[in-house]
Amino acid sequence: MTTPIVLMSIGIVLILASFFVPSKEANGSERVEHISMSMHKEMSQLNARMKRVEEELLIPSHLPKANPSIQKPSEPKKAVTPKVHAIVENQMIALHEQGYDINEIAKRSSLPPAVVIDVLRKKGVHVS
C-alpha cells in the first residue's frame, strides 16, 4: 500500500510545482510570430521576383530604344512589331481556343490587339 501512496504524493507535488514553473507558451508565441514575419517577408520577395520575370517575358529587350536626338525629324516612324515570347504566344492561342476575344487576349497579354492578331495569324489560327 505504500507504493500507491508514494506515487500519489509524487503526482500531487508535480502538479503543485507546475503552477510555479514559468510557462514556455510566451516563447512559443514569439517563435510563431517570428516565423510568420519571415514567411511574409519571403512571400513579398518572391512576388517582386515574379513581377520582374513577368515583365521580362512580356517586354522584349532586344528592340533598340528610340533616341530622338539621333533620328531625323523628317524620317517617318515605322511600326515595329515586338517579338513575342513563345510562352506568351502559346497562352494567346490557348485563350483564343477557350473563346476569348482579341481585346481580352490583348489585355491579358499586355500587348496591342494588332500584335495579338498578327501572332495568331502567324501561328495559323483563323482570326475573324
| Residues 116, 109 contacting (CB under 8 angstroms) | yes
Say whether pLDDT at 43 is over 80.
Answer: yes
Residue 12 has pLDDT above 80, yes or no: yes
pLDDT at 13 over 90: yes
pLDDT at 9: 93
Q: Taking residues 91-108, what's their average pLDDT? A: 90
pLDDT digits (tens, 9 = 90+) for 53-99: 888 787 555 555 555 555 555 555 555 567 888 888 888 889 999 98
* Cβ-based neighbour number of residue 117 at 10 Å: 16
Please state the pTM of the whole predicted model. Answer: 0.38
Kindly state the average pLDDT of the residues 18-24: 76
Taking the domains of the chain in order of start, what are their residue ranges? 1-58, 71-128
Q: Which fold has domain 71-128?
A: Arc Repressor Mutant, subunit A (1.10.10)
User: How would you classify residue 99: left for phi > 0, otherwise alpha for psi between -120 and 50, otherwise beta?
Assistant: left
Neighbours of 113 (CB within 10 A): 14
Region of residue 96 (phi > 0: left; psi between -120 and 50: alpha; otherwise: beta) = alpha
